[in-house]
């Protein structure tokens, strides 16, 4: 079984409170991107490729290999391996060791950039849970898979549903929202910059936002600029001015709205004019992707 693993962008991101456990409460809208990449309507590939084979038998386990872009991470710490281990433990706990299991051979062909705020690793983990569930007869509900995903990362549950969602808490409390961006173009720029989570949160001042992202679907796209903000830009842009310059350049090239995604170093622009979007792509350096939304 082969799955094409898409990414996400954040449409606004507000840090609203510091929690007693040291984490921060946030509000954001997760929006999936690249779902149709590699297909005729979206010829530019922007996804990871997850291939999984299952051999029933008495031995239960996982053989994992990684291809494509290399990540400095030992296999046992890869989120695909962690997701597989969590799923198999949950399966055996729920259905018992006598139920049919076997050996899973998993290959991850990695293309999505890491440290970008696009959720690539989280998506890999959640797609692993979904694929394992399909191979074993869909014994878990989406809600149960989301509970597993929550143990792997705050934004992992989103990729179980993979539809636009308003997120609260640390990103794990989800409610579907109707955000229609069809007909627009999305340009993602990922420079050779890595933003650590520590750097992103350093100096963040939690506050209630001026605009409530719950109502984003009522706000026309051409009114997002200045109202739909990513609070991490305040702490990240001064440390990495190249990212601020990319955002400004996207506006100069005709983007209706531009923003940093998540706490990473990817900057995206939404264009209503396809020709201007294509021109922006032609004049940008490597690490760029263009999609029709």
**Which residues participate in catalysis according to the annotation?**
8, 155
**Cα distance between residue 85 and residue 63, in whole Å:** 11
Burial 205-242 (b: 16+ CB within 10 A, else e): eeeebebebeebeeeebeebeeebbbbbbebbbeebee
Provide the pairing of β-strand 24-33 with 48-57. unpaired
Please give the Cα distance from 147 to 143 (Å, whole number). 6
Query: Which uninterrupted H or E stretch holds 129?
Result: helix 120-135
267 neighbors 113 (Cβ within 8 angstroms): no
Please give the structure tokens belonging to residue 137. Answer: 């007869």
Sort 26 into a burial class: Cβ within 10 Å, 0-12 / 13-18 / 19+.
buried
User: Strand ranges (DSSP E) for the chain?
Assistant: 2-5, 7-18, 24-33, 48-57, 61-68, 101-110, 165-168, 173-176, 185-189, 257-260, 267-271, 288-292
Sign of the dihedral defined by the CA atoms of residues 201, 246, 162, 140, in that order: negative
């Amino acid at each position: 079984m082969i799955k094409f693993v898409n990414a996400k962008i954040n449409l606004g991101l507000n840090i609203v409170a510091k929690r007693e456990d040291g984490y921060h409460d946030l509000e954001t809208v997760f929006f999936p991107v690249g779902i149709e990449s590699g297909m005729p309507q979206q010829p530019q590939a922007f996804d990871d490729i997850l291939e999984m084979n299952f051999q029933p038998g008495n031995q239960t386990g996982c053989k994992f290999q990684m291809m494509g872009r290399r990540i400095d991470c030992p296999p046992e710490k890869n989120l695909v391996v962690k997701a597989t281990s969590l799923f198999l433990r949950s399966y055996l706990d729920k259905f018992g060791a006598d139920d049919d299991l076997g050996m899973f051979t998993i290959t991850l062909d990695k293309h999505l950039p890491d440290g970008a705020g696009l959720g690539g690793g989280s998506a890999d983990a959640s797609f692993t849970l979904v694929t394992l569930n399909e191979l074993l007869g869909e014994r878990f509900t989406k809600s149960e898979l989301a509970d597993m995903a929550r143990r792997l990362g705050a934004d992992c549950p989103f990729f179980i549903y993979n539809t636009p969602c308003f997120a609260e808490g640390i990103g794990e409390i989800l409610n579907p929202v109707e955000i229609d961006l069809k007909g627009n173009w999305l340009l993602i720029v990922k420079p050779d910059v890595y933003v650590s989570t520590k750097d992103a949160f350093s100096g963040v001042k939690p506050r209630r936002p001026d605009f409530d992202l719950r109502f984003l679907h009522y706000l026309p796209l051409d009114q997002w600029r200045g109202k739909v903000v990513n609070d991490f830009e305040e702490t990240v842009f001064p440390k990495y001015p190249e990212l601020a310059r990319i955002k400004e350049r996207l506006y100069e090239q005709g983007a209706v709205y531009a923003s940093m995604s998540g706490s990473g170093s990817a900057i995206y622009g939404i264009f209503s004019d396809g020709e201007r979007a294509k021109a922006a792509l032609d004049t940008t350096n490597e690490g760029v992707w263009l999609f029709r939304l």
